[in-house]
Amino acid sequence: MAEQLRRERLRREMIDEIIAAARALLEKDGPGAISMRAIARQVGVSAPAIYRYFPSLDALMRALNDSVISELCAAVGPFAGSSGVAASSGVSLAFRTWALDHPASFRFTLGLTGHLAGGQTLMGRLPRLPGPASSLIPWATLCGLVLLELAADPADLPEMRHLYEAAFH
């Protein structure tokens, strides 16, 4: 029993290490840099060894997508379930901060990087902003504003604050 628990722990640690290596490649060079061979180099194993943990690159990309979305949900989570302007502002600020700190991961979760990772979707996992439960309009607005900010000329960034304030205050 102890040996089985140890093997399960080591397997989970290797899976986490593989996902972390994929995430580092995503953030540094984009999703095109992610391959079983590149990840194996990062982790220090052979490329075929990665297939013991993920049957395909698509399966690995799904796990990466789920991991990134879980991290984003954790960043927004403390404000979920609250209501009112303060909650809306807290959610939007946490979301924006995370997205600006992890632009490649943000684009990846939206499917804007050319690789559509299956599995969980960003909109399906994030808590809703205060307002009608079925409304995706606040999330669409927030994602659009973050994408505009990521693409903005630095001289235009002060104007972005006004857009956020108009949308979420």
At residue 17, what is the residue type? Answer: E
Average per-residue pLDDT in the chain?
Answer: 82
Tens of pLDDT, residue by residue over 97-156, are 999 999 999 988 887 766 655 555 566 655 544 444 455 677 788 888 899 888 888 777
Question: What span, in angstroms and rounded, lies between the C-alpha atoms of 65 and 23?
Answer: 9
Q: Which residues contact 17 (CB under 8 A, 6 or more apart)?
A: 43
| pLDDT tens digits, one per residue of 30-46 | 888 999 999 999 999 99
Class of domain 2-168: mainly alpha
CA torsion, points 91, 94, 100, 105, in degrees to nearest 10? -80
What is the pTM for the complete model shown?
Answer: 0.81
Domain assignments of the chain as residue spans, ordered by start: 2-168
Q: Reduced to 3 states, what is the DSSP secondary structure of residue 119?
A: coil
- Percent above pLDDT 70 for the chain: 79
Contact 159, 108 (CB under 8 A): no
